């Protein structure tokens, strides 16, 4: 079950960013309540947001992209009982890199740092997938 803990960490991270998104938008929602129709298309609204609020929105969206593959591979590894210390280490590393990515994204949003951290998280994910692919090929 130890492989599931970093996955739960990702779920908590996503929940934290969801709350940040909600609270960053709440003052605007309250201020414009009754006239929220202008926000019906987020791609039209987003360019009008201050950068700090856009960073939160963008990070929220990112957490529903690549991490969905992380969830899938972790569940797969758990179900086929291929959990080992390397998979656990890679899963924790993936989670930690995504935490760093989110912190950088919603604060200073330095793209060079963010991209570097993204590459490290991607490497963890690809190694997990490749290990399972190699095992599958040997069946």
* Closest to 102 in 3D by CA, of 86, 92, 113, 91: 113
| For the chain, percent of residues with pLDDT exceeding 90 | 73
Q: Do 131 and 87 form a contact (C-beta atoms < 8 A)? A: yes
Q: What is residue 96's predicted lDDT score, i.e. its pLDDT?
A: 98
105 vs 36, which has greater pLDDT?
105
46-66 tens-digit pLDDT: 677 788 889 999 999 999 999
Taking 3-state DSSP, the helix, strand and coil percentages for the chain, each rounded to the nearest 5, stand at 80, 0, 20
Give the model's pLDDT for residue 138.
84
Q: What is the DSSP code string of 39-92?
A: GSSHHHHGGGS-HHHHHHHHHHHHTTSHHHHHHHHHHHHHHTT---HHHHHHHH
pLDDT digits (tens, 9 = 90+) for 86-105: 999 999 999 999 999 999 99
CA distance 101 to 120: 10
Residue 43 class from Cβ within 10 Å (0-12 exposed, 13-18 middle, 19+ buried)? exposed
Q: Is the pLDDT of residue 30 over 90?
A: no
- CA dist 79 and 73 (Å) reads 10
Walk me through the domains of the chain, giving residue ranges and CATH numbers.
Answer: 4-137 (1.20.120)
d(CA 64, CA 117): 17
């Amino acid at each position: 079950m130890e492989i599931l803990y970093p996955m739960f960490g990702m779920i908590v991270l996503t929940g934290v960013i969801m709350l940040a998104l909600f609270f960053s938008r709440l003052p605007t929602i309250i201020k414009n309540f009754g006239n929220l129709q202008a926000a019906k298309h987020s791609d039209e609204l987003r360019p009008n947001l201050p950068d700090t609020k856009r960073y939160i929105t963008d990070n929220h969206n990112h957490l529903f992209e690549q991490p969905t593959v992380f969830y899938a591979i972790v569940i797969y590894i758990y179900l086929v009982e291929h959990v080992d210390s390397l998979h656990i280490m890679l899963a924790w590393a993936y989670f930690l890199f995504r935490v760093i990515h989110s912190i950088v994204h919603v604060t200073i949003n330095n793209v060079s740092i963010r991209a570097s951290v993204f590459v490290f998280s991607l490497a963890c994910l690809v190694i997990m997938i490749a290990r399972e692919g190699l095992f599958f090929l040997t069946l």
